[in-house]
Structure 1
Amino acid sequence: MDWLIGFDADDTLWHNERFFRMTQEHFAELLSDHAEPGHLSEKLLEAERRNIGRYGFGIKGFTLSMIETALEVTDRKVPGEVIAAIVEAGKEMLGHPIELLPHAKDAVESLSGRAEIALITKGDLLDQERKLAQSGLGDLFDAVEIVSAKTPQVYGRIFARHGRAQSMMVGNSLRSDVIPAIDAGGYGVHVPHDLTFALEHADAPEDSAKFRRIADLSELEQLVLALSD
């Protein structure tokens, strides 16, 4: 089986977005005297969209975007204790224990040794390394690729470097895991998650011969076997 199979990390192998949602609810409580939750959410998303190019994806950039939003909605009059609470919320996010999603370990184990297995994830280097170490999955991967963005060019370089006959990317994000991997010549396998960051939404490439969707990771091994026939 001459495959390179790439796995996304956050919300594909372990929970992640739920911690952002919980922190955003806390953020809304902290700023409740200054902005309605819906308006605050819109302003925060605008800040995140502006700042991704500066800070990249991850908790640290999210925390800075919350601080920027707090300054904006209070006309720079946000109390110091609120800023301190936002910083503390960011630190708590960085300390959340890792909880694997159902079938994650079995899926990686079942393909390990039969294909080259890579973790391909984006975000803060230190945080992603921490999560991988705590996940208990680290020894199952032949390679770990932590990138600042997932583009067709990035996938193309990764696929070429590993030099397998077939490449596949498995993940919950159509925008980051599926579409650019297909554009780079690989298969893109969508594993939907109930919670997905707003900036990761995209239309499914239903007309692509290399697009697949599975209900969860328990279906991955059979998919790979079917594509190998």
Structure 2
Amino acid sequence: MPARLTTIGFDADDTLWHNERFFQLTQERFAGLLADHAGRDHLMERLLAAERRNLGHYGYGIKGFVLSMIETALEVTEARVPAPVIGELIAAGHEMLAHPIELLPHAREAVEAVTDTHRVVLITKGDLLDQERKLAQSGLGDLFDAVEIVSEKTPETYRAVFARHGNGADRSMMVGNSVRSDVVPALEAGGWGVHVPHELTWAVEAAEPPAAAERFHSLADLGGLPDLVRGIG
């Protein structure tokens, strides 16, 4: 009998390496720069609204985040934001784009553990150049049979990716920190969805875990993935 599970997809940001912490640090810097114009909570609400509004224009990633900060700065200052503040925000974006990659615990071991028995695919959202940079710096690139950098993660996305690089979504697993993007649409596509929570989650990615779904699993960290994969068969 063929194996039930043949292909494993991994999310990248905050699943294999840290990412959200740098966004949150930059948000604190943003709040400090605009402290004379808006309280922190109000500013964060306006920024999140801008990010949600701009996803369809800029997609996911640092560049869209910086543009959303600039847009928010213009809004809260009624277009009177000082030019040096805009310069600081652009500089903060450059620093984020140059920040070294820090792998999460068990990331390399988990990917290595399944490469001999399964096809392994990296499936990530975000800016193409930045995601390629992070993958190259991570040292994990050679472990993947394929890399897919997509604009959005939907059931259709997973069906297409796992058809190209596997035996279809029903024989595939998606592993990631986002219930909204990594788990729910993978389950809806017919595959397994494995949630590996990160301590920091962007509000846009928040969703309730589908605990009743037959193919849903949750792990404390990636260290438990090899045993889960072996158990599924």
Shift of 1:114: 1.1
Q: Does the residue aligned with 2:36 lie in a helix, a strand or coil?
A: coil
Quote the residue 1:44 is aligned against: 47
- Structure 2: where are the runs of 5+ without partners? none
Q: Does 1:219 align with 2:224?
A: yes
Quote the residue 1:25 is aligned against: 28
Shift of 1:82: 0.3
Total equivalences in the alignment? 228
2:193 is aligned with what amino acid?
G
Aligned-pair identity (%): 66
Matches of 1:128 and 1:197, distance apart in 2: 18
Q: Does the residue aligned with 1:170 lie in a helix, a strand or coil?
A: strand
CA deviations 1:122-158 (Å, max 9, x no partner) are 0000000000000000000000000010011111111
Shift of 1:113: 1.8
Do the aligned partners of 2:7 and 2:172 also contact (CA within 8 Å) in 1? yes
After superposing on structure 2, the runs of 4+ consecutive aligned residues of structure 1 that deviate more than 6 Å are none
Shift of 1:162: 2.3
Q: Which moved more, 1:178-187 or 1:163-172?
A: 163-172
Q: Does the residue aligned with 1:110 lie in a helix, a strand or coil?
A: helix
Quote the residue 2:122 is aligned against: 119
Query: Cα RMSD (Å) of the superposition?
Result: 0.8
Quote the residue 1:96 is aligned against: 99
Q: Which moved more, 1:57-66 or 1:161-170?
A: 161-170
Matches of 1:99 and 1:74, distance apart in 2: 36
- Structure 1: where are the runs of 5+ without partners? none
Quote the residue 1:176 is aligned against: 181
Q: Does the residue aligned with 1:106 lie in a helix, a strand or coil?
A: helix
Do the aligned partners of 2:121 and 2:165 also contact (CA within 8 Å) in 1? no
TM-score by length of 2: 0.96
Quote the residue 1:191 is aligned against: 196
Quote the residue 2:75 is aligned against: 72
TM-score by length of 1: 0.98
1:82 is aligned with what amino acid?
V
Matches of 2:157 and 2:40, distance apart in 1: 37
